[in-house]
Structure 1
Amino acid sequence: MPRNMPPATVASHRDLVEYYISDASPVDSTAPRGYLERCIHSEIYKKYPTVNGVIHSHSHAVVPYTISGVPLRPCFHMAGFLGQSTPVFNIAEHYQSGDIQDLLIREVRLGEALASHFGKGSKDEPLQAVVLMRGHGFTTVASSPEECIFRAIYTQDNAGIQTTSLALNAGLARSSKASSTSIPEVHYLSDDEVAAATGMGQNAWTRAWSLWVREVQADPLYVIDD
């Protein structure tokens, strides 16, 4: 993982720190300071051997769905992986006496509690692709880093689409109330559509990936020193 620095500014192997999955401790005892919330990653990898990518995000588009009680649901074909329900991890339910209650995953115990929210299938695979984190953001997992990035991007995009749709629906509801006409509901993906879109998405990232790589190459923010 990156040392304690913005991930986008990682420029060489010297900016990375290797950790043990068992307890999130650094392999090199002299390694530079790392990310406080690395237990998110270590506990998910420990619990799910099929997972090879974990992303934790503080996306502002997604945070409202962690605190409002409005469920985040798949609105378009690129977000079928969300399933019909996206669980919300409420860290307050796992605090113990003496814990720093800043909503951060500061230790293995809290990382394990978050990891458990993904559920586990018959082959030890996670049942959920995304878990929301109250007042914090979300974490997504996948079988590869590339697919995980795909899911992170489209989780944020889906949240923006859903927020816009709900706002349009609320405006229509106000005008419909005045005219006594019926109010259509927001149309989310059906169970069959979720299943088919999820299958499609497992390979859809391959085309998008080449674009994302090119965007990084063309953006002067990203530098490679090695």
Structure 2
Amino acid sequence: MAALPHTDDLRKLFSKLIDGSHILHFHQVVDAYGHLSFRYPLDPDIFVMSRNIAPAQVSEIRDLVAYRVGDAEPLEAESPPGFAERRIHSEVYKRHPQVNAVVHSHSEAVVPYTISGVPLRAVSHMCGFLGANGLPVFDTADHMENSDVDDLLVRSENMGAHLAKHFDDGNNVTLMRGHGFTVVASSIELAVMRAVYTQKNASIQTTALMLQGVTGVTGGVKSLSKDECMASDKTTQWSLMRPWNLWVQEIECNKVYKKML
């Protein structure tokens, strides 16, 4: 990371990236797979994410790599190997200048909503950011080019660009068929919170659907209205640092996670 000046503000972002990676693992939003990134505030054409290791193992600055938004290549030639799917992040940053943090997850609670045709909607007051209309589902099969690998991963600029278009209408989360989901936000803290609560919302909605199936209740699961989504999202963002500070304390007390800055 010698390519970026290690100012106090940048070190704080490094610390948040490490904490956020650990929090996502603590909440089982990620396991050995999945990743978090942030846009470098002094140059919007640079973003930072970890090298190709499990999120729980990210622990120090040498685990982090700075990439160019333009081509998702590292600033430093001798950088450690990166994630195959870093173009999820680069293409979102390229298309959406308001986005400053991205999370990608393979959450098993969410994947059923990528393949079943059942829309994932906000059903909890903590999840208004999901919206009332059902999340869009990105499918790699719709965008294959000859050079793309047919493994559902977003490896290429082509795939990343098509995924990034799914955020054009202002939605904060896009589902990925048979794969997982991607979250965007204006900060690391908000991206992590949205990822955690996307998974929670999926679990709540699935439980409600199962209850209906067992009891024979009909009429569908009652989700939040558009106005309720907007108001509850505003309230949740207002209280953002409450869960963040708790989650940081939880991971600091857990010996699985290490941070050496």
Same-fold call, TM > 0.5? Answer: yes
Question: Please, which runs of 5 or more residues in structure 2 have no aligned partner?
Answer: 1-48
Aligned equivalent of 2:251, options 216, 220, 224: 216
SS at match of 1:132: strand
1:185 offset after TM fit, Å?
Answer: 3.1
Match of 1:153 among 176, 193, 196: 196
Query: Which of the two has greater strand per residue?
Result: 2
2:185 aligns with 142
Provide the alpha-carbon RMSD of the alignment: 1.1
Partner residue of 1:169?
Answer: 212
**Residue 171 of structure 2 aligns with which residue?**
128
Matched, 1:28 2:80: no
Counterpart of 1:107 in structure 2 is 156
Distance 1:195 1:224 in 2: 36
The equivalent residue for 1:75 is 123
Deviations, residues 84-116 of structure 1 (Å, cap 9, x unaligned):
221000110000124210000111111111000
Shift of 1:153: 0.3
1:21-60, aligned counterparts within 5 Å? 21-60=69-108
Q: Residue 194 of structure 1: CA displacement?
A: 1.1
Corresponding residue of 2:135: 86
Contact 2:148-2:156 at 8 Å conserved across structures = no
Give 2:234's match in structure 1, choosing from 199, 206, 224.
199
CA distance in structure 1 between the partners assigned to 2:95 and 2:236 by the alignment: 24
Counterpart position of 1:117: 166
TM-score, normalised relative to structure 2: 0.79
| Helix, strand or coil at the partner of 1:140 | strand
Deviations, residues 60-96 of structure 1 (Å, cap 9, x unaligned): 0000000000000111100000012210001100001
Stretches of structure 1 lacking an aligned partner (at least 5 in a row): 121-126, 177-182
Could you list the runs of 4 or more consecutive aligned residues of structure 1 that deviate by over 4 angstroms after TM superposition? Answer: none
Contact 2:148–2:155 (Cα < 8 Å) also in 1: no
Could you list the per-position Cα deviations for residues 150-207 of structure 1 after superposition, in whole angstroms to 9, with x for gaps in the alignment? 100000000000000000011111xx6xxxxxx3532111122111112112222211
Alignment size in residue pairs? 212
Give the letter for the 2:144 counterpart: Y
3-state SS in 1 of match to 2:104: strand
Identify the structure with bigger relative contact order (alpha carbons < 8 Å, sequence gap 6+).
Answer: 1
Question: C-alpha distance in 1, partners of 2:50/2:232?
Answer: 32
Query: Helix, strand or coil: the match of 1:18?
Result: strand
Identical columns (%): 50
Q: 1:17-49 CA deviation, whole Å, 9 max, x = no partner? A: 110011100100111111110000011111111
**SS of match in other structure, 2:260:** coil
* Structure 1 residue corresponding to 2:222, chosen from 187, 191, 198: 187
C-alpha distance in structure 1 between counterparts of 2:155 and 2:233, whole Å: 32
Q: TM-score, normalised by structure 1?
A: 0.91
